[in-house]
Amino acid sequence: MSRIEKPADSEPARNPSRAGKPTLKTIAEMTGLAITTVSRALGNAPQISENTRRRVHEVAAEIGYLPDRAAQRLKTGRTNVISVLLDPHEEILGFGTSIMHGLARALQTTPYHLIVTPNFLDGSNVDAVNYIIRNGMADGLIFSRTEPFDPRVRLLLENGFPFVTHGRTEFSTPHAFVDYDNYAFAYEATKRLIVKGRRKVTIILPPKRLTFHQHMLHGFMTAVREAGIAYEIPDTLDLDSPADMIRDYVRRRSGEPDPPDGFACPGEVSALATITGMSDQGLTLGAEYDIVAKQTSLLLSQIQPKVETIYEDLKAAGEAMGQLLLQRIAGEPVEDLTILQSPQFGFPTP
């Protein structure tokens, strides 16, 4: 029954911004326990009796206690933060936002917060990665648009920093990733064009430096060879090209001899641009030509149902990445932490 010595009760007003915010000390005083015990009880440590554990939890819930993240972070060195590297190319069509919603859902029941680190520089955002590793700004990293030997991945691997990419690499050291099976997409899309009776197919590929350029090319070429059909691949264009450039290219090409009449479009914008370019030439979708597009939002199918689409569920990808990252942070072996999303041929479930 030791009484507290401090005369106290002067109440030095503390930091006004968080006045009255309950802390472990508050609970300790209310229950008559020591701060240590309260901390342990809340952490469900084994050496606390079931009785006090329950009592502490009750009081904590009652006064709405929430641990101070700053103090936890300072003490433990863990930030409880997941950082997303946002690429300028993801601005269009909610790519970034879909992934983030998925991520946020995965982190919803965890103590993790999502912070976004945008990339302002031109090149890859390896500087941002370096900054985050060096200064312990996060416990894990998420990013997309990987290159075969992505310098960000190299850096993270070297430092043993947890991360999950959207897209694969070709490093011999494995790492966690979620990727869409773009081989299957391109193969399937091309085959569908062929089945529709198209004479000559084409595809707008992602920039050459990105890993999935190869995957798509491979899927496309496999379908082409199997069918022995004519094809062409524009080499002045890629998926990052501005829509008007794609539109103009399509328009010009379709006025020249022997134009393609089957388009595999791995992006909604490129599909829309193609439609416009073709209709500028008086050609109509479904009649003179066909498009099979990758769809990442509801936009395309709702606006232009005559475009056939194959869905990529980015929100699901985000959620998966979040889960993998949590496992990765928990130290699970990397081998099991890879997911290849299959193209979904049905309609997405919203």
Residues in contact with DNA by CB under 7 A are: 2, 14-15, 18, 21, 23-25, 32-37, 39-40, 42-43, 47-49, 51-52, 65, 67-68, 71-72, 74-76
298 binds, among DNA, a second copy, none (CB under 5 to 8 A by kind): a second copy
Q: Which of 297, 309, 323, 341 binds a second copy (CB under 8 A)?
A: 297
Q: Does 233 bind a second copy (CB under 8 A)?
A: no
Q: Does 273 bind a second copy (CB under 8 A)?
A: yes
Q: Distances in Å between the alpha carbon of 315 and those of 2, 99, 110, 319, 321?
A: 57, 5, 18, 6, 10
Distance of CA 223 to the CA centre of its chain: 29
47 binds, among a second copy, DNA, none (CB under 5 to 8 A by kind): DNA
Cβ-based neighbours of 156, under 8 Å, separated by 6 or more: 129, 133, 141, 163, 175
Burial track 184-218 (b if 16+ CB lie within 10 A, e otherwise) = bbbbbbbbbbbeeebebbbbbbbeeebbbbbbbbe
The two beta strands, 177-180 and 163-166, are parallel
d(CA 144, CA 164) in angstroms, rounded, equals: 9
Q: Taking CB under 8 A as the rule, which mask of x and - marks residues 136-175 in contact with a second copy?
A: xx--------------------------------------
Q: Which of 157, 243, 334, 339 binds a second copy (CB under 8 A)?
A: 243
184 binds, among DNA, a second copy, none (CB under 5 to 8 A by kind): none
Q: Does 127 bind a second copy (CB under 8 A)?
A: no
What does DSSP assign to residue 198? -
Q: Does 232 bind a second copy (CB under 8 A)?
A: no
Q: How many CB atoms neighbour CB 167 within 10 A?
A: 22
Q: Give the interface size with a second copy as a residue count (CB under 8 A).
A: 58
* Between 2 and 302, CB nearer to DNA: 2
49 binds, among DNA, a second copy, none (CB under 5 to 8 A by kind): DNA
d(CA 332, CA 324) in angstroms, rounded, equals: 9
Least CB distance to a second copy at residue 55 (A): 23
Q: Does 91 bind a second copy (CB under 8 A)?
A: yes
Q: Which tokens sit at 212?
A: 């999935």
Q: Dihedral angle at the C-alpha atoms of 143, 205, 264, 84, nearest 10 degrees?
A: 10
* Between 91 and 232, CB nearer to a second copy: 91
Q: Distances in Å between the alpha carbon of 57 and those of 34, 70, 111, 235?
A: 14, 21, 17, 64
d(CA 257, CA 37) in angstroms, rounded, equals: 81
Of 112-120, 179-187, 189-197, 215-223: span binding a second copy (CB under 8 A): 112-120
Burial track 36-61 (b if 16+ CB lie within 10 A, e otherwise) = ebbbbbbeeeeebeeeebebbeebbe
218 binds, among a second copy, DNA, none (CB under 5 to 8 A by kind): none
Q: Which of 30, 31, 52, 101 binds a second copy (CB under 8 A)?
A: 101
Q: Taking CB under 8 A as the rule, which mask of x and - marks residues 12-31 in contact with a second copy?
A: ---x-xx--x----------
Residues composing the chain:
350
Applying CB under 8 A, which residues contact a second copy?
15, 17-18, 21, 64, 66, 68-71, 73-74, 76-79, 86, 88, 90-98, 100-101, 104-105, 108, 113-116, 118, 120, 134-137, 242-244, 247, 269, 272-273, 276, 297-299, 301-305
